Structure 1
Amino acid sequence: MPERVVFLGGGVSTLVALRRLREGPPELQDKLQITIINRDEWHYMPPLFADFALGEVREDQLKAPVANIAKRYGAELIIDEVVDVDPAKQQLKTKGGKTIEYDYLFIGSGVSYDHEAVPGLSRYGYHNYSLEGAKRMREALSKFKGGRVVMLVPGLPFRCGCYPFEMAGKLKYFAMRKDPRSEVHLVTVFDEKQMGQMFKDVFRQFRRIHNKLGIIYHPGKEAKEVREKEIVFTDGSTLKYDLLIYVPPVKVPEFAKNRPELVCPNNKKVLATTYPEFRNPKYRNVFVPTDAAMPCVNFPIAGIFSHAAAVSAADALISDLTGVRGTVLFPDEIVAVADFGPTGMMVTFDIDHNGPTQKMYVTAQSPMIKFMKLAFYLGWIDALR
């Protein structure tokens, strides 16, 4: 009987892990019965949502049919939403009423967001963490004539640690073209000391770029309530805005909400996983290389880490099924690319495999880097059409 391998989600980590499985030994391929379950028909490149919101790319450039992934790698595709995962019974239940059994499960469903973390946040603010959110933000930006833009980070953890710093730069670049007198304020729940601990020497480079752009910092500010044109903080202070862009904090996915064995014991907002094979701590046939689990092993919530984790997880499954040790280890270095509007930055993470903690440092800064980043993401989607 073939091994039933089910991928929950049709995003980046699923594509990377599935491709790695199909690169495995030829004798393994007939032993795999692969199924992808995705809530809709599209494979998205989420970093392009920001470019779409700013009017720099079209909607068709940021997505490709997930059916193309299934066809290319010999998988069955089910369009449905998983509402429960029962690892003891090795079953998934879907919103459409299906019960799907598996021998091995890859959770690659991505991050869930808490848009109600602060009262009024989703009502008065805009975000680009989903296509629908990016559409609303794009419309708001198209109507913006100038004024004060606030970039708000109301809680931890959030997806892509560099994002608010990048987006503040991009928004300043955008707003200045609307009205040179426009202001951009970056408001974060973490203070500058925490920023230094989180981003190490890279934070100094962030500040250098932001100082040149005239971005105003408000560190260590916890939002209590968002009102129309005003944010109220827990210390009693307020901040006026003309346009509010926010970073939604993450929350544990709905399918794991009533499954404590799937939730990270040290951070109830993310899924449980282990390093370096990215298996569930209790159920070794459940692989969790999604970015929704990265903080559980002290990595940021970012696609570059889930990409590497997906390769490691797929190699671990190949080893389980063949007895052959995987040839691809988790990398010693991971490189991120950031777009600040007028310039770009390349950041390198040195991985300590005993931790895994990271050292971070800037390896390059150039306007060319921002175009490299955009070209990579657009090329990723083009390759799946």
Structure 2
Amino acid sequence: MRILVVGGGMGGTIVANNVARRMSKEIRQGKVELTMLSATDQHWYQPGLLYVAFGKMALNDICRDQSTLLEPGIKFFVDPVEEFELNENRVRTKSGVVHDFDLLVIATGCEAIYDEVPGLEKASETPYTKHGAVKMFKRLREFEGGKVAIVVGVPHKCPIAPIEITFMLHEFFEKRGIRDKVQLQYTYPIARIHNIENIAKWAVPEFERMQIDYETFFNIKEVDIDNKVVHSEEGTEKEYDLLVAVPPHRGMPVIEENGMGDDGWIPTDRYKLTMDGHDNVFVLGDTTNLPISKTGSTAHFESEVIGENIASIFRTGSATREYDGKVYCFIEADQDRATNACFNYIDPPEIKAPTKSMHMLKMSYNQWYWSSARGLL
């Protein structure tokens, strides 16, 4: 059996390692061939960019050579896929190499985009890219006070990010001793301050305690850079001295270019995690069109399901496990405290009061991530 994993981010890495361990005997015997194709030889811990933006981590803390994270038996090539020929069970890479497969796993991820909002890229600070995170930290250190507007594009990676960023801004300016000179203005596109109702209910009193202003039904239309004003689709506006953005995201261009999904999101069965119309193609992480959080934990839990099912398909001819929509998110608060949200398709999260121990667990996970990427946690 030829198993091909396209994408070397968290989802692709965990599922490849999961399959390699489950099927190590079959790989050694030559009954299974497991290959990964990636666009880069580096692996970035993307949630760590938020900590880079606040000076709590450095870029070299959140990067490893991809090859060091992979189990023996995985054939790894830095050669991104440019053409998916799914009906023929093959892909064609940038270098022109054709890879045939019996089972395909697509974990190409998503990326921040700015072309939908004029002025946003030039005017804003964001922790969603390596350059952006470093630039944001420098800007935060130089900022001496004024109006800070937090704007949110949709859809976006990591649903907790807008609230987390706002809490961390409050804490950062408080520790610098200038919080009384800063007016934090949080905006959100729908009728409450977060799309998950229980998180919104928990966050409102936290915002009020920290004296954070908030406005709902604020969908970014454009940024007037000269006058430092953000305009919304609803006709309102926010003045700013510092603009912090959670930019909108799209799936990777190669997905849409191959006609596999609008805006790069692949239509995916919410339980089987297979691509609609292709039972031998699995999709996970940020690449799916599923109405669930685009987070590392989502990719992790999906990877476990896919890994188990791939082994089962080889050995019994059918999958044995379904994905229940499980997501787990840490939520950084202020004063070195954190809480968490755990939920699935059926059960909403129950948010507990933030604690220092949960913050310590989150900071520890930033170091444990590399074991998690190998599928050891």
Separation of aligned partners in 2, 1:26 and 1:57: 36
Residue pair 2:120, 2:223 contacting (<8 A) in 1 also: yes
**Equivalent residue number for residue 216 of structure 2:** 219
Percent of pairs with identical residues: 19
CA distance in 1, matches of 2:373, 2:201: 38
Q: Residues 53, 382 of structure 1: CA spacing in aligned structure 2 closer, same or farther, 3 A cutoff?
A: farther
**TM superposition shift of 1:279:** 0.8
Assess if the C-alpha contact under 8 Å between 2:5 and 2:37 holds in 1: yes
Moved more, 85-94 or 57-66: 85-94
Confirm or deny: 8 A CA contact 1:49 1:134 kept in the other structure.
yes
* Distance in 2 (alpha carbons) for counterparts of 1:100 and 1:269: 22
- Following superposition, the deviation at residue 334 of structure 1 comes to 4.2
Residues of 2 paired with 1:220 and 1:322: CA distance?
51
2 CA distance for matches of 1:298 and 1:54?
Answer: 30
Measured in 1, the distance between the counterparts of 2:174 and 2:350 equals 29
Rounded Cα–Cα distance in structure 2 between residues aligned with 1:85 and 1:322: 27
Query: 2:298, 2:326 within 8 Å by CA — same for their partners in 1?
Result: no
Whole-Å Cα distance in 2 between the matches of residues 325 and 14 of structure 1? Answer: 21
Cα pair distance change 1:237/1:364, threshold 3 Å: closer
Q: Check the 8 A contact 2:114/2:248 in 1, yes or no.
A: yes
370 and 237 in structure 1: CA distance in 2 versus 1, 3 angstrom threshold: same
Q: TM-score, normalised by structure 2?
A: 0.89
Q: Report the Cα distance in structure 1 between the residues aligned to 2:327 and 2:359, rounded to whole angstroms.
A: 17
| 1:314 equivalent in structure 2 | 307
Alignment of 1:337 onto 2:337: no
Structure 2 unmatched runs, 5+: none
- Counterpart in 1 of 2:75? 76
The answer to whether the aligner puts 1:346 opposite 2:335 as a matched pair is no
Alignment of 1:278-289 (within 5 A): 278-289=273-284
**Change in 2 beyond 3 A, CA 1:80/1:245:** farther
| Counterpart contact for 2:117–2:222, Cα < 8 Å | yes
Q: Could you tell me which residue of structure 1 aligns to residue 238 of structure 2?
A: 239
Alignment of 1:1-385 (within 5 A): 3-25=1-23, 27-29=25-27, 30=29, 31-70=31-70, 72-154=71-153, 156-178=154-176, 179-180=178-179, 181-192=181-192, 195=193, 198-228=195-225, 229-260=228-259, 262-263=260-261, 268=263, 270-293=265-288, 296-323=289-316, 330=323, 334-342=327-335, 343-349=337-343, 351=344, 356-363=345-352, 365-381=354-370
C-alpha distance in 1, partners of 2:257/2:210? 46
SS in 2 for 1:361: coil
Distance 1:159 1:84, change over 3 A: same
C-alpha displacement of 1:333: 5.5
Shift in CA distance, 333/284, structure 1 to aligned 2, threshold 3 Å = closer
Q: Deviations over 1:46-98 (max 9, x none)?
A: 1110001111011111111101123x332222223333322123232333444
Report the CA distance between 1:211 and its aligned residue. Answer: 1.4
**Which secondary structure state, in structure 1, belongs to the residue aligned with residue 87 of structure 2?**
coil
Cα contact 2:292–2:325 (8 A) shared by 1 = no
Distance 1:222-1:336 versus aligned 2 partners, 3 A rule: closer
More displaced 10-residue stretch of structure 1: 362-371 or 160-169: 362-371
SS in 2 for 1:5: strand
Q: Could you tell me how far 1:280 is from its partner in structure 2? A: 0.7
Question: In 2, Cα distance between the equivalents of 1:147 and 1:132?
Answer: 24
- Structure 1 residues 297-306 or 91-100, which shifts more? 91-100
State the secondary structure of the residue aligned to 2:104.
Answer: strand
Do the aligned residues in 2 keep the contact of 1:83 with 1:254 (CA within 8 Å)? no
TM-score after normalising by structure 1: 0.87
Cα separation, 2, equivalents of 1:76 and 1:162: 35
Unaligned runs of 5+ in 1: none
Q: How many residues align?
A: 367
Whether the 8 Å CA contact 2:103–2:281 is kept in 1: the answer is yes
- Displacement of 1:101 after TM fit? 2.8
> How far is the alpha carbon of 1:237 from its aligned partner?
3.1
CA 364–242 in structure 1, closer or farther in 2 if over 3 Å, else same: same
Verify the 8 A CA contact 1:158 1:250 in the aligned structure 2: yes
Alignment partners' CA distance in 1, 2:303 and 2:63:
20
Q: Is the alpha carbon distance of 1:322 and 1:23 closer, same or farther for their aligned partners in structure 2, counting shifts above 3 Å? A: same
**Residue identity in the other structure for 1:345:** T
